[in-house]
């Protein structure tokens, strides 16, 4: 019954986790979910109020344009200039998305032909690989390992593989590892992409969740727009995960290609959501700063508990994830966490084979729930 492209896909990681959670809850377990990175902090009030006002505007009740309102794209460009000092043309270098996942999933359709190669990190957000598979391409794994601070070693990519590759997906600050890439790495990546005529698709939804210094954007590096686009989402920055609003910015030819796919598959975001997105992008600085401080408190609480348990973790620099080395089978470790303690975590192998032995913990739960998880973990240890 199903097409080959469906048969070839692995089960979606987070759907499997939801199934395990729901089964435990049906058994009466008080589940503490440290698995999926779904912000628990509410969307700021001024954004909600902007939506309510915009929803009453009849102009927003008609079909939205696929590329997004020019005013929204201008707000994205203004945010990039204010945040990263990056200039963007809102008409040709910004495209609105129904959440960045939609853009990531559709982008390879514009550039990948049957059996074309695409470089995909491992471990990584699963949609990078599946989007390539849906386009008929072949994902070529680029390992992210501890010994290299979870940055890809571009020098170890086979030159013949690089020559045959159409694009590379990367994501820094990184999900699931929490690693951060500096400008020197991005310069190396841009040179690599230029040499091999590869499109860089950089996924950057965690840029504002940092704990030491700003994480930045690949587009801050000179020449980046020659080869790269960057996906960004309001889901994490402004706690708008359920609103499904984001953007892709950068190289105008690549933006146009993704736009052609969008125009044939969907329309665009509800106009009122775009208006609310504009309000978000113009938020005062303290909105994001307060969020960072809350995540930092939670990260420290859970970091101490997991290191006390004997897990190996680098102190996080960004994202709201802790990437813990267990030295054990990832799935079995997470099964014991759920069965013994009612704690959900994400097995690292679900992000790729180089994630085996790791477990990802998210701090997108209220602090008191994280403290309860810590209590359970301390009792488990003793």
- What CATH number has the domain bearing residue 112? 3.40.640.10
C-alpha to C-alpha distance for 134 and 131, rounded to whole angstroms: 5
Q: Which of 281, 309, 326 is the last residue of a domain?
A: 281
C-alpha to C-alpha distance for 344 and 373, rounded to whole angstroms: 10
Phi, psi of 136, rounded to the nearest 5 degrees: 90, 10
Given this model, what pLDDT does residue 2 score? Answer: 79
How many separate domains does the chain show?
Answer: 2
C-alpha to C-alpha distance for 232 and 43, rounded to whole angstroms: 17
Show the DSSP H helices in the chain as ranges.
4-7, 13-26, 45-55, 70-84, 100-106, 127-134, 159-164, 183-196, 224-227, 234-237, 252-265, 271-281, 285-308, 330-336, 367-381
Dihedral (C-alpha) 306, 308, 314, 315: value to the nearest 10 degrees? 90
| 6: confidence class by pLDDT, cuts 50, 70, 90 | confident
**One domain for residues 68 and 155:** yes
The rounded Cα 127 to chain-centroid distance in angstroms is 10
% helix / strand / coil in the chain, to the nearest 5? 50, 15, 35
With a cut of 90, say whether residue 198 has pLDDT above it.
yes
Helix (H, G, I), strand (E, B) or coil at 278: helix
Given this model, what pLDDT does residue 10 score? Answer: 66
C-alpha to C-alpha distance for 159 and 141, rounded to whole angstroms: 14
**One domain for residues 14 and 128:** no
| Mean pLDDT value across residues 149-175 | 97
| Mean pLDDT value across residues 289-311 | 95
| 266: confidence class by pLDDT, cuts 50, 70, 90 | confident
| 156: confidence class by pLDDT, cuts 50, 70, 90 | very high
Is residue 73 within 8 A of residue 95, CB to CB? The reply is yes
Any idea which residue has 């000179």 for tokens? 222
Given this model, what pLDDT does residue 20 score? Answer: 78
Question: Could you list the residue range(s) of the whole structural domain that residue 97 is in?
Answer: 45-281
**One domain for residues 160 and 238:** yes
**One domain for residues 97 and 239:** yes
**One domain for residues 61 and 156:** yes
With a cut of 80, say whether residue 17 has pLDDT above it.
no
Q: Which of 248, 281, 314 is the last residue of a domain?
A: 281
Peptide bond into 353 cis (omega under 30): no
**One domain for residues 205 and 72:** yes
| 381: confidence class by pLDDT, cuts 50, 70, 90 | low
**One domain for residues 113 and 245:** yes
Given this model, what pLDDT does residue 72 score? Answer: 98
Q: Return the H-helix or E-strand segment holding 259.
A: helix 252-265
Is residue 196 within 8 A of residue 165, CB to CB? The reply is yes
**One domain for residues 163 and 212:** yes
**One domain for residues 311 and 290:** yes
| 284: confidence class by pLDDT, cuts 50, 70, 90 | very high
Residue 24: CATH number of its domain: 3.90.1150.10
Given this model, what pLDDT does residue 13 score? Answer: 65
| 165: confidence class by pLDDT, cuts 50, 70, 90 | very high
Any idea which residue has 């982008």 for tokens? 107
Q: Which of 281, 316, 345 is the last residue of a domain?
A: 281
C-alpha to C-alpha distance for 382 and 377, rounded to whole angstroms: 9
**One domain for residues 151 and 212:** yes
How confident is the model over 23-81, as pLDDT tens digits?
878 888 889 999 988 999 999 999 999 999 999 999 999 999 999 999 999 999 999 99
| Mean pLDDT value across residues 339-356 | 94
The half-sphere exposure of 240 on its side-chain side, counting CA atoms within 13 A, is 30
**One domain for residues 133 and 20:** no
**One domain for residues 74 and 223:** yes
| Mean pLDDT value across residues 323-345 | 93
């Amino acid at each position: 019954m199903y097409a080959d492209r469906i048969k070839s896909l692995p089960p979606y990681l987070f759907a499997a986790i939801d199934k395990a959670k729901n089964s435990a809850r049906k058994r009466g377990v008080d589940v503490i979910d440290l698995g999926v990175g779904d912000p628990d902090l509410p969307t700021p009030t001024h954004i909600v109020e902007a939506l309510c006002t915009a929803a009453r505007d009849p102009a927003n009740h008609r079909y939205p344009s696929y590329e997004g309102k020019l005013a929204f794209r201008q707000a994205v460009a203004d945010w990039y200039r204010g945040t990263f000092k990056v200039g963007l043309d809102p008409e040709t270098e910004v495209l609105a998305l129904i959440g960045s996942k939609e853009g990531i999933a559709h982008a390879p359709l514009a550039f990948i032909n049957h059996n074309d190669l695409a470089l995909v990190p491992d471990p990584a957000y699963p949609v990078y690989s599946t989007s390539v598979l849906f386009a008929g391409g072949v994902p070529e794994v680029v390992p992210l390992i501890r010994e290299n601070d979870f940055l890809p070693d571009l020098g170890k990519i086979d030159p013949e593989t690089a020559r045959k590759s159409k694009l590379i997906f990367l994501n820094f600050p990184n999900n699931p590892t929490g690693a951060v890439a500096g400008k020197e790495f991005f310069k190396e990546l841009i040179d690599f992409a230029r040499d091999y005529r590869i499109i860089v698709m950089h996924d950057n939804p965690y840029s504002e969740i940092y704990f030491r210094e700003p994480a930045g954007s690949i587009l801050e590096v000179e020449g980046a727009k020659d080869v790269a686009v960057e996906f960004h989402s309001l889901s994490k920055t402004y706690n708008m995960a359920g609103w499904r609003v984001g953007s892709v910015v950068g190289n105008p030819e690549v933006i146009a290609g993704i736009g052609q796919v969008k125009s044939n598959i969907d329309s665009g975001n509800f106009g009122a959501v775009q208006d609310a997105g504009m309000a978000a992008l113009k938020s005062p600085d303290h909105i994001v700063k307060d969020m960072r401080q809350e995540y930092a408190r939670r990260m420290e609480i859970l970091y101490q508990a997991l290191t006390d348990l004997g897990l190996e973790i680098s102190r996080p620099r960004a994202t709201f994830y802790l990437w813990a080395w267990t030295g054990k089978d990832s799935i079995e470790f997470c099964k014991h966490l759920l069965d013994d303690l009612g704690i959900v975590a994400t097995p690292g192998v679900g992000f790729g084979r180089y994630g085996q032995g790791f477990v990802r913990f998210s701090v997108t739960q209220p602090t008191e729930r994280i403290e309860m998880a810590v209590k359970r973990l301390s009792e488990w240890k003793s």
